[in-house]
Amino acid sequence: MTTDPSPSRLGQQQQAREQAAAQQQTGHTFASVEELLRADRAQTPPPPRLAARLRESLAREPAPRRRWWQRWWRR
């Protein structure tokens, strides 16, 4: 089956192509160094295996001596 796109549909497609081309030219813009670093941090998570590796290491360690520190955990 063939479709005959309407003029409005063609206009939308043309607009989308222009937006994509403009995005390719300008790329991503960051207002500050901090914003740039935050974007980088957001796409750079720690490797998933690190948590398991740490858990194995902690299992070989003696438990901490005092428990009063627990109230500070979530600060």
Partner 1 sequence: MDPQVEPRPPAPAAPPLAGPEAEFGALYAAHAPAIYYLALRLLGDPARAEDATHDVFLRAWRSLSEFRGESAVRTWLYRIALNHCRNLRQRWYERARAPDPGEAFWNRVSAPDATPLRVLELKELGARIQRALDALPPEYRELLLLVADEQLSYREVAELTRQSVDAVRGKLHRARRAFHAAFTQTA
At its nearest, how many Å lie between partner 1 and the CB of residue 16? 19
Binding mask 7-36 for partner 1 (x = CB under 8 A): -----------------x-xxxxxxxxx-x
Residues 36 and 38: their CA atoms lie apart, in Å, by 5
At its nearest, how many Å lie between partner 1 and the CB of residue 47? 6
Q: Considering the complex, state which of residue 16 and residue 51 has its C-beta at the smaller distance from partner 1.
A: 51
State both tokens at 50: 């690190």
* Token pair recorded at residue 43: 């796409």
Q: First and final CA of the chain: distance in angstroms?
A: 63
